[in-house]
Amino acid sequence: MQETESGTDTKHNFISEMTGTEDRGYLTFTLGDEEYGIDILTVQEIRGYDSVTSIANMPDFIKGVINLRGIIVPIVDMRIKFNLGDVTYHEMTVVIVLNIADRVVGMVVDGVSDVISLSSEQIKEAPEFGAVLDTKYIKGLGVVDQRMLILIDIENLMSSKEMALVEQLA
């Protein structure tokens, strides 16, 4: 018991070093029953799901491309990708448009909740999950009141091979 605690402590310090001691803003969204958080600075805008042009022979979670004020932006559906939530498209379907490393990508989620601020103390190390989301894409768990947020390292996730959004070098 003692050991585990000290172990968490070092990890905790590690996380606070990584994220800095200041509070950070996170945009929270839901996928199925789970609540997720991403760094607010990666979010460009939030918009409805509308007129997506599909691209042939792509993985099913890549819904296609949209015209975002003259820019062609790919849309991925996280619900399909992670097998969560109801995959239906209607007027309330939300797309979070991210701007990561000068690339713009939209992701479909079940719903956007709010923006919250988390201090490093509120971020705990993530335990080993099931297979839904690889731990390497999880920054940690944020705890606010009774809610628990899964904080995603969205930059790594979106540029990962499995998202198939970026051309992978052999």
Partner 1 sequence: MSIDMKQFYAVFFEEVSEHLANMESLLLAIDIESPSLDDLNAVFRAAHSIKGGAGIFAFDDMTEVTHILETLLDKLRKQETVLTSEMIDAFLQAGDLLAEMKEAHQEDGEVDSAKVKALCKSLESLSAESGASSQSAESNAVPEIVDRQITFLTGEKEDIACLLRELAEFGELSYSSEMQDDSKKWSVTLTKASVSDDELTDCITFFTEPGSIIITRLEAKEETAFGLFTEESAHALIENDSFGFFDELPVKNSGAESETLPVPHLSSVSEAATADDPSKETEAYGFFSDETKKTEIKPLPETSLKKAPKSTQSSSESSSSIRVNTEKVDQLINQVGELVITQAMLTQISALLDPSEHEILLNRLTQLERNTRDLQESVMSIRMMPISFVFARFPRVVRDLSGKLHKKINLKMIGDETELDKGLVEKLADPLTHLIRNSIDHGIEMPEKRLAEGKEEAGTISLFAFYQGGNVVINVSDDGAGLNREKILAKAVERGLNVSDSMTDNEVFQLIFSAGFSTAEKVTDVSGRGVGMDVVKRNIIEMGGQVEIHSDLGLGSTISIRLPLTLAILDGMSIAVGDHIYIIPLTFISESLQPQPENIKTINGKGTVVKVRGEYISLLALHQLFNIETQVHQPSDGILVLLESNNKKTALLVDRLVGQQQVVLKSLETNFHAVPYISGATIMGDGRVALILDAVGLISAME
Residue 51 vs 146, nearer CB to partner 1: 51
Residue 58 vs 148, nearer CB to partner 1: 58
Residue 105 vs 123, nearer CB to partner 1: 105
Q: State the minimum distance, in angstroms, from the CB of residue 168 to partner 1.
A: 9
91 binds partner 1 (CB under 8 A): no
Interface residues for partner 1 in 53-72 (CB under 8 A)? 53-58, 64-67, 69-72
How many angstroms separate the Cα of 3 from the Cα of each of 8, 29, 129, 146? Answer: 9, 35, 21, 27
Q: State the minimum distance, in angstroms, from the CB of residue 170 to partner 1.
A: 13
103 binds partner 1 (CB under 8 A): yes
Residue ranges in contact with partner 1 by CB under 8 A: 51, 53-58, 64-67, 69-74, 103-105, 165-167
